[in-house]
Amino acid sequence: MVEVVELASPTIRLRLMTLGAAIVSLECPDGQGRTGPAHLSLPSLAGYEDRKRNPYLGASVGRYANRIAGARFPLDGREVRVTANEGVNQLHGGPDGFGRRLWGLTEVTSTDDGGQATMTLRSPAGDQGFPGTVTVTASYELSGHRLRITYRGEADAPTVLNLTNHGYWNLDGSPTVHDHHLALAADAVLPVDDASIPTGRPVTVQGTSFDLRARTRLGPVIAAIPPGLDHCFAVRGAAGELRGAAVLDSPSSSRWLAVLTDQPGVQVYTGNNLGPPFRPHGAVCLETQLFPDTPNRPELGSAVLRPGQHYTSITELRFGTGEPPGVEELQP
């Protein structure tokens, strides 16, 4: 049975569910003090259970977020074959990845300033083709205007692990986010082919439409990079340390969202393939993660998790109104 959890602080109302350990809704004040939605939501559980209507809305995706080329990768001298679900490639852990699964609700606490909800999932060896049994937790901690999402994982055999939250953010309720503005703490972007598979190391954004280091309106960027953004940017600073990654804002509602992460990359997706009841470009996803296809590209780092090691990924979301902070100003 799918369980729904509500957490509330003086400024944020958050609803979560155990299907996909997902954000169902997040409401916060606009510049006029009126509380309203900042995240896309479907009207019923049936909608979330319908995979054609639910493009991982607010879900915790894995075992490997983003793409694995050819649905295969080398690990300790042997080839691992995983289940393909995007042509010959694997996306977000396969057709029955973590974002489609029922997690167990293991802890809920409430405070005057918010509260915390933790969900757990056990993924057995061979799940979607991945080796090793993995146990993961997703913890949502709400405190005032901040929501911290922490993923943890352990494995009983060598495997790969890369989790992210697939939140769909629309800060003013408009049909598209063309009038939203985005700034990234990213000097480089990962080049990809037509299947969104990396073709090399991150390259400079200087002089390109991917240069979002200054606050930039999204409409012209989407028009310049059809059908829109679905690219992983290298977050400035050292991976493993919480640091500023992105600031999204809506001039019409005066809401802004700041994203901090300890991951090396942030996948920016402008909802290019959104369908009814939404429209293409109806939201922005800011998915903090390891780089796509890292299991096949050692030059991008390592996604390997071994017995005795502890996987951790932290993303902090901060909400406010008025003049948005500069992305370079964000501090842990």
In the chain, the amino acid numbered 260 is: L
The two tokens of residue 44 are: 């019923």
Contact 118/148 with Cβ under 8 angstroms?
Answer: no
Residues 6+ apart with CB under 8 A from 47: 53, 54
* Cβ count within 10 A of residue 193: 9
Helix/strand/coil for 221: helix
Q: Find the catalytic residue in 166, 180, 181, 231.
A: 166
Residue that is written with structure tokens 């063309």 in the block? 178
Cα gap 239→322, rounded to integer Å: 30
Alpha-carbon torsion (29, 49, 271, 246), positive or negative: positive
**Could you give the maximum distance between any two Cα atoms of the chain, in Å?**
59
Q: Find the catalytic residue in 154, 181, 231, 287.
A: 287
Cα gap 11→104, rounded to integer Å: 27
287 is catalytic: yes
39 is catalytic: no
DSSP output for 228-296: --EEEEEESS-TTS-EEEEEEE-TTT-EEEEEEESSSEEEEE--TT--TTS-TT--BEEEEESPTTGGG
Q: Where in the sequence numbering do the catalytic residues fall?
A: 166, 287
